[in-house]
Amino acid sequence: MRMTLIDELIAELDSAHAAFLAALDGVTQEEFERRPPGEVTEGEERWPILEVCWHLGQYDDYQRRTILAATEGRPLPKNEPTKRPEYLNTPDQQREWLAQSRRALVVMASRLDEETLNREFEGLNGRTVTARGLLRWVARHEQAHITQVEALRSLPPEEH
pTM of the model: 0.91
pLDDT of residue 160 exceeding 50? no
What is the reported pLDDT for 39?
Answer: 72
Find, among 75, 80, 142, the residue nearest to 105 by Cα: 142
What is the reported pLDDT for 41?
Answer: 67
Q: Which residue range forms the structural domain that includes residue 131? A: 1-23+48-72+91-160
pLDDT of residue 151 exceeding 50? yes
* Within a domain: 97: yes
Number of compact structural domains in the chain: 1
What is the reported pLDDT for 112?
Answer: 95
Cβ-contact 109, 5 below 8 angstroms: no
Find, among 84, 93, 83, the residue nearest to 29 by Cα: 93
* Within a domain: 37: no
Cβ-contact 144, 20 below 8 angstroms: no
* Within a domain: 40: no
CA 132 to chain centre: 16
Cβ-contact 139, 106 below 8 angstroms: no
For the stretch 37-82, pLDDT in tens is 877 666 667 789 999 999 999 999 999 999 999 999 999 999 998 9
CATH number of residue 138's parent domain: 1.20.120.450
Find, among 57, 66, 132, the residue nearest to 98 by Cα: 57
* Within a domain: 96: yes
